[in-house]
Structure 1
Amino acid sequence: MTEKNVVDVFIQGGIIAYPTEAVFGLGCDPDNEAALSRLLELKQRPAEKGLILLAGNYAQLLPYIDVSKIPPEKLSLILSRWPDGITQLVPKNKNLSPLLSGQFDSIAVRITSQPDVVLLCEQANKPIVSTSANLSGQEPAKTWESLDKTLIEQVDFIIKGNTLGHTSPSKIIDALTDALIRA
């Protein structure tokens, strides 16, 4: 039997634990409804809260956002905030799954330079869902070794890489109003 490849696991709807900028994340293919449902159930996260999309580049985010609702000067500002550490709420594509956007008209997106995530997103040619690797209300894991045993038993692949060493999870900004949602 050959070792599982993370891209195959991702494409087949698996749940992946992986390093982000500050903490470990849990993610899946944003276009796989069954994987999204399983991820929310595993994390014990209400669907109405929505999820973050983490990408290696801006083009990977385009199918999920409504660029027509972003003024050109705002788009320049949005792009200038990346990569790393800043998640931005942008208008969502009207066909987006409510499991991704929750109860909102926006989708939370971020571009990272974390090499393992960039490679996965490049190979899959799309972003990965990103939510902290912990059960809701618990502290997020900062290393793969510190992942909760409950999560380890239920994820399909763990990328045993390192975070970028940031000290706190990403700041969240409403990209159109510049309102700070999470410091």
Structure 2
Amino acid sequence: MLQVLPADAAKLIEQGGVIAYPTEAVYGLGCDPDNDAAIEQLLQIKQRPWQKGLILVAGDYLQLLPYIDESQLTADQLAFVHSKWPGPFTFIMPIKPKLSALLSGTFDSIAVRVTAHSDVKALCAATNKPIVSTSANLSGQAPALSLHEVKQQFEGVIAGVVIGELGKQLSPSTIIDAKSGKIIRQG
């Protein structure tokens, strides 16, 4: 399996590849959120139904603006979101019209996060956009916590894996609905 730095991983993403990368707590699988063929490939690799939707992870909030409709949120709701970022908090936010259903699934919202993880920030900076982020595992299996586990499940089916270390989080990010403030999943 090709092991690459974030800048080289960005090239693989731009070419439509699916990559694995370390995040705050687990390895993630990612691709270009604007490439439906790449998203379909990621869903097929993970054996995940498109209806569930996916997460976008960004290195900077501005990278999320083409995908989310912040006009549907109040100033207080946005202030709460911004108070948690960057960090291990994923927010369910309203989507822009015509966003690919492969990203949002059957919902009128999408899960988004602004990361504090240096390798993911570098990856997003190199692609100049957020990337799709879903845990590196087959649906229903435990997320990969090591390069060895990524190789076991995805050798030969993904374009490469970013060299780096997992963050210090012990569990995947907390997921919060930006409109209601309700915690969907405790991290």
Work out which of the residue numbers 49, 56, 61 in structure 2 matches 1:58: 61
Which ranges in structure 2 are unaligned for 5 or more consecutive residues? none
1:167 correspondence with 2:177: no
Root-mean-square deviation (Å): 1.3
Which amino acid is 2:102 matched to? L
Shift of 1:129: 0.3
- Given the two structures, how large is their TM-score scaled by the length of structure 1? 0.95
1:177 correspondence with 2:180: yes
Q: CA–CA distance in 2 between the matches of 1:163 and 1:84?
A: 14
Contact 1:11–1:124 (Cα < 8 Å) also in 2: yes
Q: CA–CA distance in 2 between the matches of 1:174 and 1:6?
A: 31
Which ranges in structure 1 are unaligned for 5 or more consecutive residues? none
1:1-183 → structure 2 map (5 Å cutoff): 5-147=8-150, 149-183=152-186
Q: CA–CA distance in 2 between the matches of 1:182 and 1:13?
A: 30
Identity across matched positions, percent: 51
Q: CA–CA distance in 2 between the matches of 1:11 and 1:106?
A: 25
Shift of 1:150: 3.4
Shift of 1:145: 2.1
- Given the two structures, how large is their TM-score scaled by the length of structure 2? 0.93
Q: Runs of at least 4 residues of structure 1 off by over 3 A?
A: none
Residue 147 of structure 1: SS of its match in structure 2? helix
Q: CA–CA distance in 2 between the matches of 1:133 and 1:141?
A: 6
Q: Paired residues, what number?
A: 181
Shift of 1:148: 5.0
